[in-house]
């Protein structure tokens, strides 16, 4: 684990280093079925400083000074109903690139001002087999935080900023299990005051925390079934 003395430039620099490291490949997640024609999409993984001071010239020194933007999807949606996710969605023809897609979707879903977001990097696309998507994560730094809230309650019922320190707390972490037919899938999960983060979102956060060197040892043998 990286110590405070090994953090010369703060969390923003560590996120940049993680984005350009070797910890990102399609093996992070279960693969799509062979021959599947997946839809291209993008999500915004947006980190900010916990207080309201603009962060353009201020790096958060350690993970405890950070939060990350998440949302909870409506329970009536056909894909991933009720799950916690990053803002994002499918790429539209008018989007110039996946950065456009991630920022547009985040603005539509949460109302954030995209001009206050510094894009640090786009990560390699990852498969999301449950809904047949290839997802490009866009890593962002909130230089000038804006107010956020659920814009369309038919799609998003809640938008919230979660302290990274809370996600890293071993008491928050466990292994989720879900049975599909004869197969049981396991993955990292977070219990944020009763709001469960699992699946794609949890796996990406878990890999990002590991790659940044922020992970605190936790009990992966604590297994709990996903309640759908």
Domain ranges of the chain: 4-163
Give one word for 116, left, alpha or beta, with left for phi > 0 and alpha for psi -120 to 50: alpha
Rounded to two decimals, the pTM is 0.86
Q: What is the mean pLDDT of residues 154-171?
A: 91
Question: Could you count the other beta carbons within 10 Å of the beta carbon of residue 104?
Answer: 20
Sign of the four-CA dihedral 191, 195, 1, 209? positive
Q: Which of 7-11, 111-115, 205-209, 221-225 has the lowest mean pLDDT?
A: 7-11
pLDDT digits (tens, 9 = 90+) for 28-40: 566 666 666 778 8
The CATH number for 4-163, chosen from 3.20.190.10, 3.30.565.10, 3.90.79.10, 3.30.1490.20, is: 3.90.79.10
Nearest to 15 by CA among 223, 217, 210: 210
49: confidence class by pLDDT, cuts 50, 70, 90: confident
Kindly give, in sequence order, each residue whose CB lies less than 8 Å from that of residue 156, ignoring residues fewer than 6 positions away: 71, 72, 73, 74, 109, 110, 150
Beta carbons of 160 and 110 less than 8 angstroms apart: no
Beta carbons of 16 and 121 less than 8 angstroms apart: yes
- Average of per-residue pLDDT values in the chain: 83
Is the pLDDT higher at 93 or at 62? 93
pLDDT digits (tens, 9 = 90+) for 207-223: 999 988 899 999 999 99
């Amino acid at each position: 684990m990286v110590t405070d003395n090994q953090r010369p430039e703060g969390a923003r620099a560590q996120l940049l280093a993680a984005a350009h490291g070797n910890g990102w490949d399609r093996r992070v997640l279960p693969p799509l079925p062979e021959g599947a024609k997946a839809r291209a999409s993008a999500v915004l993984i947006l980190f900010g400083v916990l207080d309201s001071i603009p962060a353009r010239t201020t790096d958060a020194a350690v993970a405890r000074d950070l939060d990350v933007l998440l949302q909870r999807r409506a329970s009536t949606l056909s894909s991933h109903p009720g799950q916690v996710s990053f803002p994002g969605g499918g790429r539209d023809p008018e989007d110039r690139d996946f950065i456009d897609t991630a920022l547009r979707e985040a603005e539509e879903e949460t109302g954030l001002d995209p001009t206050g977001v510094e894009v640090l990097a786009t990560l390699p696309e990852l498969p999301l087999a449950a809904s047949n998507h290839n997802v490009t994560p866009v890593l962002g730094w909130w230089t000038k935080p804006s107010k956020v809230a659920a814009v369309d309650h038919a799609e998003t019922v809640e938008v919230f900023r979660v302290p990274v320190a809370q996600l890293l707390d071993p008491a928050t972490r466990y292994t989720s299990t879900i049975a599909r037919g004869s197969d049981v899938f396991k993955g990292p999960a977070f219990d944020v005051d009763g709001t469960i983060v699992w699946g794609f979102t949890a796996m990406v956060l878990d890999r990002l925390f590991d790659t940044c060197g922020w992970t605190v040892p936790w009990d992966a043998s604590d297994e709990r079934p996903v309640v759908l």
